[in-house]
């Protein structure tokens, strides 16, 4: 078995120290691993922006949610407790609790806002996973190995965005029509938005972005200065969810 430097760091127990050290160094100097490796090979960092104004054009439109959930065989459970969600809507005041005031709440508070996995630059779910079943890929997608997951739900406790769902029961009976090209999941594993990595592999964009007629969902490479996404982030004011936690979300909200 070949042991790379990364493996060694992890296995030698210095991993924890190294991780803490890396975070400290990052905090002090703004230096990041992604940036240093940038010179070696041009990296991709997939990202997304939700244009909230455009998203509100059509009342009650759920096309992106339907597109995602049918593409990925996401089951529909009536019981809220056992819901599986990859992309969904919540009232503005729950998504951005710090961005509302007593006087703006009337207008903004209850407006629906899209949510999904933030595909963090430094995902807490990856750090806590005891079996390496979830990790940030080199292209920025935070992914899950459903074969590896033991169902301890530590990642659900660690995710500060509530992006992860657990299969409390067999999801199959709750899937209306199964898309044969994507696996369903089994009971006892965690799942979430995968940025349509299976479509990215084929050169396609995410199903949600593709399905949106209003073009309210913009997907692209955050490392590419002239990408549509970066141009949008340059020209409009955009925020991330809970940026103060240092997780570095790749999902932006144009308010």
Partner 1 sequence: MSDRPLIVAGLTLFVGLVSTPIWHGALNREAAMAALHIKLPAREKQCVAPASYMRTSHMQLLEHWRNEAVRDGQRQFVAFNGKTYDKDPTRTCLTECHTDRKEFCERCHNYAGVSDPNCWNCHNDSHVASEGNS
Partner 2 sequence: MLMFKNTLTRSRRYWLWIASLLFVILAGSLCYVLQLIHGLVVTGLSRDVSWGLYIAQFTFFVGIAASAVMVVLPYYLHDYQQFGRLTLLGELLAVTAVTMCILFIFVDLGQPSRIFNIVLHPQPQSVMFWDMIALGGYLLMNAVIAAVTLIAQRQHVPVPGWIKPVIILSIPWAISIHTVTAFLYSGLPGRSYWLTAILAPRFLASAFASGPALLILLCLALRKLTGFDAGREAIQKLAVIVTYALAINIFLILAEVFTAFYSEIPAHEEHFEYLFIGLNGDYRLVPWMWLSVLLSWVALALLLVPRWRANIPRLAVACAAIFISIWLDKGLGLIVGGMVPSPLGAVTRYVPTLPESTIVLGIWAVGALMITVFYKITLSIWKEN
The residues that touch partner 2, with contacts defined as CB under 8 A, are 10-16, 19, 80-83, 85, 90, 93-95, 97, 115, 124, 127-133, 148-154, 156-162, 165-170, 187-190, 242, 245-247
180 binds, among partner 1, partner 2, none (CB under 5 to 8 A by kind): partner 1
- Closer residue to partner 1, CB minimum distance, 57 or 148: 148
Q: What are the residues binding partner 1 (CB under 8 A)?
A: 137, 145-147, 170, 178-180, 183-186, 201
- Closer residue to partner 1, CB minimum distance, 94 or 204: 204
CA gap 132, 3 in Å, rounded: 16
Token reading at 146: 């459903």
108 binds, among partner 2, partner 1, none (CB under 5 to 8 A by kind): none
113 binds, among partner 2, partner 1, none (CB under 5 to 8 A by kind): none
185 binds, among partner 1, partner 2, none (CB under 5 to 8 A by kind): partner 1
Min. distance of Cβ 183 from partner 1 in angstroms? 4
Min. distance of Cβ 202 from partner 1 in angstroms? 11
* Cα 105-106-110 angle, rounded to 5 deg: 75
Q: What per-residue string of b and e applies to 203-218 under the rule 16 or more CB within 10 Å gives b?
A: eebbbbbbbbeeebbb
CA gap 163, 112 in Å, rounded: 16
Min. distance of Cβ 250 from partner 2 in angstroms? 16
201 binds, among partner 2, partner 1, none (CB under 5 to 8 A by kind): partner 1
Min. distance of Cβ 53 from partner 2 in angstroms? 22
Min. distance of Cβ 12 from partner 2 in angstroms? 8
CA gap 60, 143 in Å, rounded: 30
Selection from 179, 186, 230, 211 nearest residue 46 by Cα: 230
Q: Which residues contact 48 (CB under 8 A, 6 or more apart)?
A: 116, 119, 195, 206, 209, 217, 218, 219, 220, 229, 250, 251, 252
Long-range contacts of 96-103 (CB under 8 A, 24+ apart): 96/239, 96/241, 96/253, 99/239
């Amino acid at each position: 078995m070949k042991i790379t430097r990364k493996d060694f760091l992890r296995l030698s127990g210095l991993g924890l120290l190294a991780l803490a050290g890396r975070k400290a160094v990052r905090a002090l100097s703004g230096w990041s691993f992604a940036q240093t490796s940038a010179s070696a090979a041009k990296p991709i960092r997939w990202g997304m922006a939700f244009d909230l104004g455009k998203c509100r054009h059509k009342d009650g439109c759920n096309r992106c949610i339907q597109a995602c959930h049918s593409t990925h065989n996401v089951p529909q459970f009536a019981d809220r407790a056992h819901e599986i969600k990859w992309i969904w809507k919540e009232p503005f005041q729950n998504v951005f609790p710090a961005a509302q005031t007593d006087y703006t709440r009337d207008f903004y508070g209850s407006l629906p806002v899209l949510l999904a996995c933030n595909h963090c630059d430094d995902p807490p779910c990856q750090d806590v996973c005891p079996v390496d079943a979830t990790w940030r890929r080199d292209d920025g997608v935070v992914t899950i190995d459903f074969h590896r997951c033991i169902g301890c739900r530590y990642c659900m406790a660690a995710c500060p965005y509530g992006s992860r769902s657990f299969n409390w029961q067999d999801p199959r009976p709750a899937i209306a029509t199964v898309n044969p090209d994507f696996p369903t999941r089994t009971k006892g594993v965690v799942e979430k938005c995968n940025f349509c990595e299976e479509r990215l592999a084929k050169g396609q964009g995410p199903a949600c972005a593709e399905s949106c007629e209003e073009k309210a969902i913009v997907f692209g490479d955050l490392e590419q200065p002239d990408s549509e996404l970066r141009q949008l982030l340059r020209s409009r004011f955009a925020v991330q969810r809970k940026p103060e936690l240092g997780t570095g979300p790749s999902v932006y909200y144009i308010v």
